[in-house]
Every structure is written in C-alpha cells, then in structure tokens.
C-alpha cells in the first residue's frame, strides 16, 4: 500500500492539478493552502511536491456522475490504506460507509452551491475497514483558470481512529 508509492507529484497532470487546488482554495476561502510552508514553494513542481508531502490530508474528486478520486497526497494514501493507482480509481463515495453516504452527498451538494464549507466533521472508512473521525475539514469546489467547475477537494489535519 503506502510502501509502494511512487512520486505522482512529478506528473505534469498532477502538477497542473496542484495549481488548481491551490488557486481554488484561495479563490473560495481567501486563504493560502501553502501558508504554513516555510519557505513557501514558488514553482508549480515545487508546489506539487509540497502538497504531496504536506502535514495535512489533501484529497479531491472529479465531476463524474459518481465522482472518482483524482488526487490524494501521501497522508491521504496512508489514511485510506491505498496505493496511488487504487486511490485514483476509487469512487469517492466509497471513502464513507453506506450509512454516512447520504449525509456526505448533502454536504457535497451544499459545497457545490456555496463554493466551500468549513468545520466539517464526519466518519470515513479506509480500504481495509478502519473507521476514523475527521475533524475541522475544509471542502471546496475546484475550478480551473476560466472558473469552470472541475470537482471538489478536502483538506484536514485532525482525525482520530474509532474502535
């Protein structure tokens, strides 16, 4: 799983996606996703590398009818117990148990409408069935340079495993 990680942040598509994640976060929240990095990375490739190794969980999914995960940084891959390839082929609804999926869908719909949400809390589940409680997540719409909606992203630092 996590031991088999290669460096997806070096792929040009992921470098470009990192730019969308950072600019969208700034657009919706007025804050920098990179604020706590020292020094703040300057090049797109350095930003992609920093996001991948960030001290917070960062995930995103696309706009499919059943959205599929399209990005997870190193901490996300570890938390969901998946390698990169499995992660980016996973429908994002499967990160929550079926009982949590209705609430999750409501949250994502509200985020689509408002642009972003803060202080999200909820239970998620790893690919191996480990449940964890996410605290104070920020969820936002990912947009491109023309402000076209590309999907949604989430970041959080706080979580605890449930027994």
Q: Indicate if the pLDDT at residue 81 is higher than 80.
A: yes
Closest CA to 80 of 90, 70, 66, 65: 90
Q: Indicate if the pLDDT at residue 2 is higher than 80.
A: no
- Neighbouring C-alpha atoms within 13 Å toward the C-beta of 20: 27
Q: Indicate if the pLDDT at residue 72 is higher than 60.
A: yes
Question: Pairing mode, if any, of strands 69-72 and 158-161?
Answer: unpaired
Q: Indicate if the pLDDT at residue 107 is higher than 60.
A: yes
Percentage, residues of the chain above pLDDT 90: 81
How much is the average pLDDT of 45-63? 97
Encode pLDDT of 133-149 as tens digits.
999 999 999 999 999 99
Contact between 151 and 129 under an 8 Å Cβ cutoff? The reply is: no
CATH of domain 2-161: 3.30.450.20
Closest CA to 84 of 71, 68, 67, 66: 71
Helices (H), ranges, the chain: 12-29, 44-52, 74-80, 84-87, 98-114
How much is the average pLDDT of 115-132? 95
């Amino acid at each position: 799983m996590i031991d088999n990680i290669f460096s997806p942040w070096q792929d040009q598509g992921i470098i470009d996606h990192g730019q969308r994640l950072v600019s969208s976060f700034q657009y919706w929240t007025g804050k920098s996703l990179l604020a706590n990095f020292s020094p703040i990375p300057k090049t797109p490739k350095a930003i992609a590398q920093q996001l991948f190794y960030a001290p917070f969980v960062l995930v995103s999914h696309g706009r499919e009818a059943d959205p599929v995960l399209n990005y997870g940084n190193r901490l996300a891959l570890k938390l969901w117990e998946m390698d990169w390839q499995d992660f980016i082929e996973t429908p994002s609804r499967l990160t929550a148990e079926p009982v949590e999926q209705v609430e999750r869908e409501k949250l994502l719909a509200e985020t689509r409408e408002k642009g972003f949400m803060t202080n999200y809390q909820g239970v998620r589940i790893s690919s191996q069935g480990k449940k964890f409680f996410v605290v104070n997540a920020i969820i936002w719409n990912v947009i491109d340079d023309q402000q076209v909606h590309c999907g949604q992203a989430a970041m959080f630092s706080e979580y605890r495993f449930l027994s």
